[in-house]
Amino acid sequence: MPTLLTSSPDIATVADLLERLGGIPPERVRYYPMPGTATEADTYVLGKDFPRIAEIVLDTSDDGRYVLATVQNGDGGEFASFVHGMMGSIHELSITPQVMSMC
């Protein structure tokens, strides 16, 4: 069963947080919405129909205007990619497993 951390005395700074997350680069940490934001108005943008066992990788353009979501269906080699743009639109890209394996 997952453990819920409500507070931690050993995470006093952002550097402590990044270390706790395994030393990931700071640009991989997303704060949208900000922690503590009410969830009543949350809506699904993408993912509601994803497979129950899916690996999702998010990449952001350097200027933050676009998000690429790459979704792998389990470990069977089936991939789907989606681009989320500034205007809220989502476009599915068709990428074959062979192309993905070369990336």
Query: How confident is the model over 20-72, as pLDDT tens digits?
Result: 888 888 877 766 667 777 788 777 788 888 888 889 898 888 887 888 999 98
| CA separation for the pair 2, 91 (Å, rounded) | 33
| pTM for this model (two decimals) | 0.54
Is 45 within 8 Å of 30 (Cβ atoms)?
no
Q: Residue 90: beta bridge partners? A: 84
Please state, in angstroms and as integers, the Cα–Cα distance from residue 19 to each residue in 8, 27, 73, following that order.
13, 14, 30
Burial category of 69 from C-beta neighbours within 10 Å (exposed 0-12, middle 13-18, buried 19 and up)? buried
Q: How many other CB atoms sit within 10 Å of the CB of residue 16?
A: 13
Confidence of residue 99 (pLDDT cuts 50, 70, 90): very low
